[in-house]
Structure 1
Amino acid sequence: MNAPAREPAVGTALPGTAPALFVSEELPFPPVPAALAGALQAQGRAWFATRPVGSSPYDFHYFLNEVETQPDVADYAVVGFDGHGTNSWAVHFYLVQKGIALFIKLPWGGAYLEPEPARAQITEMFDWAAALLSQLKRAESAGKIPPGMRLHVAASRFDHAGWRWVAAGQNAAETPWNPAGGMRAAVLQELEGVIAGRALVDGANPQGQRA
C-alpha cells in the first residue's frame, strides 16, 4: 500500500515542479497544453495552478460553478493532489480554455486505496484526455466549433460526472448534462461527428442534446 504523498512526514520536501511531483508518485503527467504548463506554480502543499484560485482542488464543485457563472474566466490549469482525512484523497487535472472546460478528479493516495488499479485508471483517463484535446484541436482548426461554444466535461469518482456543450450566452446552470455512462467513447465519437460536419454546424442542438 502506498503512503499518501499529500501528507508527508514533517521535514519531508516535496518535488519543486508539477511534473516532478507526478514522477514521484509514478503517475503520468496530465496533458496540460504547453502554453499553460510553463505557468504552473505551487499553490498548496501538493498542487499547482497557473493562477491564484479561490479553493483547493478537492472542492470539485467550486471549479464547476466558476466556469458556469464566469464563462469568460481566463484560461487556466490546475494539477496535483489534494484531500483530507485518511481516504478522501485524489489526483486532479482541471483545464479551462477556449472550447473546453475539463475537470478530472480520481482517487489517489488514500490509506485504503490499492495503488496499481488506481494508477492504471489514472493513466487511462489521462490518455483519454489527451485524445479529447487532440480531437478538439482538429475540430477547431477545421472551423467546426462555433464561436463561444465550449465542451464541458466532468469526470469525478467522488462528485458529479457527465458532459455537455454550452453555447455563448447560454445559461450553463440550466443546460442539461449527458450521462456519465460510456462518456469517454461518447465524447470522442461526438468530436468525430463534429469534424465530419455532422454536428455543431451553426451551434444549435449539439449532438447528444437534441430536442
Structure 2
Amino acid sequence: MSESPASSAASQPLDTHSPPAPSTRAKEPASLTGLEKARAALLGAGLTFPQIPETLAVALKEKERWVFSTRDVKMSPYDIDNHVKESYDPPSPYVVLAHAGYGFNSYVITYYLVFGPLRLFLHLGFGGAYMNEKEDVIKIRECFSLADQIFEAAKTSGKLFPDEYLTVVCSDFYANYWGLSLPERSRLSNESQESPEEFLAKILKWLKNPKPRRPRCTPVRKQVVVR
C-alpha cells in the first residue's frame, strides 16, 4: 500500500474549520453512552450504523468531536496506513468510528474493526467540498451492510483456518486490498481498483462460496502458510 499523503498531517488536530463534518451535532444529554452518541451521529447524517460486537459496543467512547473509539486515539483515524500496519501484529480487539480528514476534500468516514478473525478497515470519502453527499451516503450505507455480512461470514463460513485471520482494506483514496494472514507471517495481496461496494461484495462472495479451500502447506520459518 502506498504511503498516505496525509501521514504528515495525521498527527495534527483535525481542521474543524474546513468543510464541515456531517451536520448532526445537536445538543446531547450528558447521560448518553458513547454507543448512543455514535449511533445518533451516523443516523443523523443519513448513514446506517455498522454492527459492533457487544463486548466492544459497551466500551465505545466519544474521544473528541466525531471520533468514537474503544481505545485511546494515538493517531488520526484518517491515517489508515498505520492502523493497517499495526494489525500485522494484532492488537487487542478494538473499533474506531470517525469522521476525519484535512484540507478541502480529504474527508472520510472511517470504520476500523479488529475482532476475532477479522481486521476490517473502511476509509470512505464523505464531507469534502467537492464530494457528492447523496452518492456518498448511498455508498457508505451499502459498504456498512456488506461489512456486517463479512463480519458474520468470517466467523461462520469455515473459510478461515485456525489461527488465520482476514484483513480487508477498503478506501476511496487509496488502493483496496485484502489477504489472509497467520501469526508472524503476513500475506496481504489481491490489490483492486474496484469501487468499495464491488470490492467488499467480492470478498463476501468468496467467504460464502461453499467450495472448501485445499491447504497447501509451505514451511516458512517454522510456520505453516495455508493458501
Task: Indicate the TM-score class for this superposition, using the shorter chain for normalisation.
Answer: 0.7 to 0.9
Q: CA deviation at 1:153?
A: 0.2
The answer to which of 158-167 and 175-184 deviates more is 175-184
1:179 maps onto 2:191 in alignment: yes
1:80-119 deviation per Cα after TM superposition (whole angstroms, max 9, x unaligned): 2111122111101000012010000111111221111110
SS at structure 2 position matched to 1:145: coil
Instruction: Rate the CA distance shift 1:35–1:8 in 2: closer, same or farther, 3 A.
Output: closer
Q: Distance in 1 between matches of 2:109 and 2:63?
A: 15
TM-score norm. by structure 1 comes to 0.80
Shift of 1:136: 1.2
Identify the residue that residue 4 of structure 1 maps to in structure 2: 20
Correspondent of 1:62 among 82, 96, 100: 82
**How much has 1:196 moved relative to structure 2?**
4.5
Secondary structure of the equivalent of 2:81? Answer: helix
Letter of the 1:184 counterpart: L
Question: Would the alpha carbon gap of residues 186 and 21 (structure 1) be closer, same or farther in structure 2, given more than 3 Å must change?
Answer: same
Which of residues 145, 161, 166 in structure 1 aligns to 2:160? 145
Give, as a single letter, the amino acid of the residue that structure 2 aligns with 1:191. Answer: L
Cα offset, 1:34, TM superposition: 2.2
Closer/same/farther in 2, CA of residues 59 and 198 from structure 1, 3 Å limit: same
* Counterpart-to-counterpart distance in 1, 2:103 and 2:133: 18
Confirm or deny that 1:117 pairs with 2:128: no
Which residue of 43, 62, 75 corresponds with 2:93? Answer: 75
C-alpha change, 1:160 and 1:147, in structure 2 (3 Å) is same
More helix by share: 1
- Asked if structure 2 preserves the Cα contact closer than 8 Å seen for 1:44 and 1:56, the reply is no
When residues 33 and 136 of structure 1 are mapped into structure 2, their CA distance, relative to the original with a 3 A threshold, is same
1:19 aligns with 39
* Number of equivalences: 193
Which residue in 2 is equivalent to 1:28?
A: 48
Give the structure 2 partner of residue 154 of structure 1: 169
In structure 2, the residue matched to 1:209 is none
Q: TM-score, normalised by structure 2?
A: 0.75
* Equivalent position of 1:169 in the other structure: 184
> 1:197: which partner in 2?
212
Q: Which amino acid aligns with 2:174?
A: D
Per mean C-alpha deviation after superposition, the further-off stretch among 52-61 and 148-157 is 52-61
Q: What percentage of aligned pairs have identical amino acids?
A: 30
Equivalent AA in structure 2 for residue 41 of structure 1: K
Please identify which structure carries the higher strand content: 2
- Report the counterpart of residue 61 of structure 2 in structure 1: 41
For structure 1, which segment, 13-22 or 75-84, has the greater mean C-alpha deviation from structure 2 after superposition? 13-22
What is the Cα deviation at residue 125 of structure 1? 0.6
Q: Which runs of 5+ in 2 are unaligned?
A: 1-18, 218-223
Give the direction of change, closer, same or farther, for the CA distance of 1:13–1:85 in structure 2 (3 Å limit): farther
Q: Which runs of 5+ in 1 are unaligned?
A: 207-211
State how far apart, in whole Å, the 2-side matches of 1:91 and 1:13 are: 21
Residues 82, 90 of structure 1: 8 Å contact kept? yes
1:95 partner letter:
L
Q: What is the Cα deviation at residue 37 of structure 1?
A: 1.6
Equivalent position of 1:52 in the other structure: 72
